[in-house]
Chains A and B, each alone.
Chain A
Amino acid sequence: MSGDARDWPLPRGGREGEGAGEGGGAGTGPADKAPQSSGGDPDPARLHEDFNAVWGNPRGWRAVTIVNHTAIGLRFMLTGLGFFLFGGLLAMLIRTQLALPGHTIMTPEVYAQVFTMHGTVMMFLFAVPMMEGLAVYLLPKMLGARDLVFPRLSALGYWCYLFGGLILCASLFLGIAPDAGWFMYTPLASATYTPGPNSDFWLIGVTFVEISAVSAGVELAVSILRARAPGMALDKMPLYAWYILTMAMMIVIGFPPLILGSILLELERAAGMPFFDPTRGGDPILWQHLFWLFGHPEVYIIFLPAAGIVSTLLPVFARRPVVGYAWVVVAVLTTGFISFGLWVHHMFAVGIPMLAQAFFSAASMLVAIPTAIQVFSWIATLWLGRPVFHLPMLWLTGFLVIFVAGGLTGVMLALVPFDWQVHDTHFVVAHMHYVLVGGMFFPLIAGLYYWLPHFSGRMASPALGRWGFWLVFGGFNLNFLVMHWTGLLGMPRRVNTYEAGLGWDLPNLISSIGGFVMAAGVVTVLADILLHFRFGRPAPDNPWQADTLEWATALPPNPYNFISLPRVEGRHPLWDQPGIGRELAAGRGGLAVIDHGRRETWGTDPASGEVREIIHLPGNTALPFLAALALAVVCIALLAKAYGVALAAAVVVAGLLLRWSWENGAHPAAAPDARTAPGDPPLHSRTADGPGLWGMALTLLADGALYLALLFGWFYLWTVGPTWEVPEGGGMAGRAGRLLLAAAVAHTLAQFAMQRCARRMAQGRGPKHGAAAFAAVAAGGALALGLVYAALRAAGLVVTATAHDAVIAVVLGYSLVHLGMATVVTLLQALRVRRGYVGLEAPYEPLVVARLWHYNGGVLWSSYAALVLFPPAWGGI
């Protein structure tokens, strides 16, 4: 299953003669089961070899098949580091250009590309993927699991990120990089003012990368909810897991509006569909809404995992549990929700009514409170603890100082009159860097130093590390503190140069010097990290005396994390049971059997954390890599306007993903043998529940967020579109509306038939003629598909003439794609029933597919209400 396994270090706790420590996985039930052995404990070295044979990572070109979370997480972080250095280099170019008045190192055109790419790279290719990569790496270990629940999705996400990022960055070397700013406002980014491919690189490249973000969001959320260590109830989860759960849900809901906006803008640019063009009924402000619906939560998507690092590290160095665990959970969730009610504060200058601005102003002030609760919790933890000041603490202190300052300027910017004064000046740039660098970069470096022994088994040099910190801290403040004043003096952002004598000369020079000092600090930190691999002191077990389970693995960890899986009784498993690592390595925890050849981890109840089933995980496969590669071809072909090639590559992608779904459940490449050890629960694919149901639900939540953003656009244009017009006799009135109604009715019948088939199979009662039943349901889906297509034709839309027709085409096109998908995967279920991969013994998959049917039904009826019933009710036709 795993190919030629690489030699991994023996688990540290598993060396012969080390014996058992205190504590251990006491208790009853399957989670406490010892491995099958014939007398006494099994040989740890033998166990390691056996586990490595199943979980090991291949080398050479076959390394592209690796799906293991440890390897994927590291790849995310290393790639993120590469993009960070690239983005940092662009920042240095910007500071060089602005150091003195009248500099002409870069032309205005090149400067526009450089600042656009700096923002884009740092936000989309560094901050989010880096935080996701760290979470992908850490979470299963922290939760006492062997892997995330959808390892192939992690791998797909990584490859999409890498290829999308490379495509995006390549544009700069070709001199055709995006140049309309990182938020790509229309009409500047539209075809009229950016006729070249610059904006296309952004729209297509970023959307490609966002596949990665949403994949990781789904993956992380489901893993936290369904694959924790037995006993790890909601109130015993590490705080980091709460932060990542919140971040993941925010990604799932927050990224789709931008994906939609990007699709619409690309359709406008490539096909002339005028969503944002006010001369044809569109509205450029709609782009701003869609962008900032994503863009403001994005700030917290970046900040929350970093705050999670703080809440993880600080109690360790304070040597006491965090003060106010439940309050921190409340604060994190509050931040996650309220952050979706702030987006308009980026648009205070566009002419929105005062009352609406006041709502967003109030929400912007409100969001400071949960952040303050966390800050007070951290201070109280330090106050009541016995702090030790190791290197990561230095970075945490820097974070507290800088982030609190950034938060205060944030509250200033939440006040509409002040925002108007400094809008589009360097003050905003300085505030943003205080929040993002202070709120994300400093905790990230603290975390990297803290978890460095995990990556290398060694400790970093405190002396070099301190130099790095002070250079970054000093350089950062020199750069960005002064930049607040540059902004208050009126210097606008995004100008490539300025005249001498405006009072901006000195502060810009100081900022540039600060920028280069900061860069020297980053180089020092990098040198420290590189050198420690060679010269670092070997790390002892649990070097910081931490409380979380990731320190119970070997250093560096093996691909399987734990030979046997822990049971936890409290929030601080390693403080409660310091010897648990040795216990687990000796095979005295749960699921220590590997002779079945499957990758397995516990599936647990989302609330109580008690074991429900065994989740079997896929092994190494090239499918995610190939799918991402084919997607990259789609993107490049779209950029080259080779639409035939793009279509062909999209068909290849669909084929690869269907093959991926084929290798599940009882398939020989997955889990054909469903036997488990006596007393253990069944495999998830043999139950009516499992992570796939949750994965489908969250995927549909993301999908629903995209669809709702589309409906928002429709209603927005009807309500406040400045030049909105309904074409004469057009729209969905008449025959087109009746056809859409027929489609919704036909789909509803098929949807309930699907539900009945799935439920009967889960109850062990059928359906009779299973394959034929699923085929019949698929036929119903095909009928609905045909009716929607007929409605589209009957509507007589002229999609390039008005935004009205363009939006209708997208709404119907969305349904066509989804109905096609449901039809094909249901046909696949019919085939799988025939092959015996799905049936009374393995009834799980139809339940997953049924969710897609329910979703599609909701979409069809909603579309009918929005397109057919709403316009006459509003008085439009």
Chain B
Amino acid sequence: MKPPAFHPAQIPLGLTLWSLWFVALYGGTAVACERLAAGPEEAGPAAINLGFLLFTLAAAAVPGTYAWGCWRAARLSAGRPSQERFAARVGAALHLVAVIAMLFIGLPLLGLPPCL
């Protein structure tokens, strides 16, 4: 599944993973509230927050790992074509952006009730 560190597909991969996570988070909380909250005026169980926090951390680990792989490859890439080094560097940065975006957007899970 994971393309080589120098592959141009690294460039859109991180934020594509972010997109999938975002859809799963937004859709998932709606579904969880529909299934687990007692009624429309209920805050819903805290387990929903906990579950999605864990999901967010697990999801962020994926582009985090890829960012590390791309960055390491870019540092050891002397002699490779310039576009490959570029793909690895930009890919690493965008994977990191995806990690930051997941963690920042997931922050409200720490403090807000899921269904109100």
A residues apposed to B, CB below 8 Å: 233-236, 326-327, 329-330, 333-334, 337-338, 340-341, 344, 353-356, 358-359, 361-363, 366, 606-609, 715, 719-720
Q: Which residues of B contact A341 (CB under 8 A)?
A: 18-19, 22, 105
Interface pair A607/B87, CB less than 8 Å apart = yes
Interface pair A333/B25, CB less than 8 Å apart = no
In the docked arrangement, what's the CA distance between A866 and B8, Å?
Answer: 33
Given contacts A326-B90, A356-B29, contact A606 B34 (CB under 8 A): no
Identify which of B34, B86, B108 contacts A234 (C-beta below 8 A): B86
CB within 8 Å of A: which B27-51 residues: 27, 29-31, 33-34, 49
CB-CB nearest in chain A for B100: A366
Total number of residue pairs linking A and B with CB closer than 8 Å: 99
In the docked arrangement, what's the CA distance between A358 and B34, Å?
Answer: 19
In the docked arrangement, what's the CA distance between A812 and B109, Å?
Answer: 38
Given contacts A337-B18, A358-B112, contact A366 B101 (CB under 8 A): yes
CB-CB nearest in chain A for B91: A330
Seed contacts A234-B83, A341-B105, A353-B29; 5 additional CB < 8 Å A-B pairs: A234-B8, A333-B11, A354-B116, A356-B30, A607-B87
Interface pair B108/A355, CB less than 8 Å apart = yes
Q: Which residues of B contact A355 (CB under 8 A)?
A: 29, 49, 108-109, 112-116
Interface pair A353/B26, CB less than 8 Å apart = no
B93 contacts A by Cβ under 8 Å: yes
CB-CB nearest in chain A for B33: A353
Q: Which residues of B contact A354 (CB under 8 A)?
A: 112-113, 116
Chain A nearest CB, measured from B31 CB (Å): 6
Given contacts A353-B116, A356-B26, A359-B105, contact A334 B89 (CB under 8 A): no
Interface pair B97/A235, CB less than 8 Å apart = no
Interface pair B112/A329, CB less than 8 Å apart = no
Interface pair A334/B94, CB less than 8 Å apart = yes
B107 contacts A by Cβ under 8 Å: yes
Q: Which residues of B contact A235 (CB under 8 A)?
A: 82-83, 85-86
Q: Which residues of A contact B27 (CB under 8 A)?
A: 715
Interface pair A329/B105, CB less than 8 Å apart = no
B residues apposed to A, CB below 8 Å: 8, 11-12, 15-16, 18-19, 22, 25-27, 29-31, 33-34, 49, 81-87, 89-90, 93-94, 97, 101, 104-109, 112-116
CB-CB nearest in chain B for A334: B97
Interface pair A333/B108, CB less than 8 Å apart = no
In the docked arrangement, what's the CA distance between A362 and B106, Å?
Answer: 9
Given contacts A355-B108, A359-B108, A719-B30, contact A333 B83 (CB under 8 A): no
Q: Which residues of A contact B83 (CB under 8 A)?
A: 233-236, 607-609
Interface pair B104/A366, CB less than 8 Å apart = yes
Given contacts A362-B107, A609-B83, contact A338 B115 (CB under 8 A): no
Q: Which residues of A contact B114 (CB under 8 A)?
A: 353, 355
Interface pair B31/A719, CB less than 8 Å apart = yes
Identify which of A333, A363, A715 contacts B105 (C-beta below 8 A): A363
Interface pair B115/A353, CB less than 8 Å apart = yes
Q: Which residues of B contact A361 (CB under 8 A)?
A: 108
Q: Which residues of B contact A720 (CB under 8 A)?
A: 30, 34
Q: Would you list the 5 A-B pairs with minimal beta carbon distance, nearest first?
A: A358-B108, A235-B86, A233-B83, A337-B15, A355-B112
Given contacts A330-B94, A337-B18, A366-B105, contact A607 B12 (CB under 8 A): no
In the docked arrangement, what's the CA distance between A457 and B25, Å?
Answer: 54
Q: Which residues of B contact A234 (CB under 8 A)?
A: 8, 83, 86-87
Q: Which residues of A contact B105 (CB under 8 A)?
A: 341, 359, 362-363, 366
CB-CB nearest in chain A for B115: A353
20 contacts between A and B (CB under 8 A): A233-B86, A235-B85, A329-B90, A333-B11, A333-B15, A334-B94, A337-B12, A338-B18, A338-B101, A344-B26, A353-B114, A355-B49, A359-B22, A359-B25, A359-B108, A361-B108, A362-B107, A607-B83, A607-B84, A719-B30
Given contacts A235-B82, A363-B101, contact A333 B12 (CB under 8 A): yes
In the docked arrangement, what's the CA distance between A355 and B106, Å?
Answer: 10
In the docked arrangement, what's the CA distance between A354 and B34, Å?
Answer: 15
Chain B nearest CB, measured from A7 CB (Å): 41
CB-CB nearest in chain A for B107: A362
Q: Which residues of A contact B49 (CB under 8 A)?
A: 355
Chain A nearest CB, measured from B92 CB (Å): 10
Interface pair A362/B26, CB less than 8 Å apart = no
Chain B nearest CB, measured from A288 CB (Å): 14
Chain B nearest CB, measured from A698 CB (Å): 13
Interface pair B19/A608, CB less than 8 Å apart = no
In the docked arrangement, what's the CA distance between A353 and B11, Å?
Answer: 34
Given contacts A334-B15, A337-B19, A366-B101, contact A233 B81 (CB under 8 A): yes
Q: Which residues of A contact B87 (CB under 8 A)?
A: 234, 607
Q: Which residues of B contact A327 (CB under 8 A)?
A: 93
In the docked arrangement, what's the CA distance between A354 and B113, Å?
Answer: 8
Q: Which residues of B contact A333 (CB under 8 A)?
A: 11-12, 15, 90, 94
Chain B nearest CB, measured from A454 CB (Å): 29
In the docked arrangement, what's the CA distance between A607 and B80, Å?
Answer: 13
Chain A nearest CB, measured from B82 CB (Å): 5
Q: Which residues of B contact A609 (CB under 8 A)?
A: 83
In the docked arrangement, what's the CA distance between A353 and B105, Å?
Answer: 15
Interface pair A607/B8, CB less than 8 Å apart = yes
Interface pair B108/A326, CB less than 8 Å apart = no
Chain B nearest CB, measured from A630 CB (Å): 37
Q: Which residues of B contact A326 (CB under 8 A)?
A: 86, 89-90, 93
In the docked arrangement, what's the CA distance between A330 and B106, Å?
Answer: 22
In the docked arrangement, what's the CA distance between A354 and B44, Å?
Answer: 12
In the docked arrangement, what's the CA distance between A687 and B115, Å?
Answer: 55
Chain A nearest CB, measured from B46 CB (Å): 12
CB-CB nearest in chain B for A355: B112
Chain B nearest CB, measured from A281 CB (Å): 16
CB-CB nearest in chain B for A351: B40
In the docked arrangement, what's the CA distance between A330 and B12, Å?
Answer: 10
In the docked arrangement, what's the CA distance between A625 and B116, Å?
Answer: 54
Chain A nearest CB, measured from B19 CB (Å): 6
Identify which of A236, A330, A358, A362 contacts B97 (C-beta below 8 A): A330
CB-CB nearest in chain A for B6: A607
In the docked arrangement, what's the CA distance between A363 and B101, Å?
Answer: 8
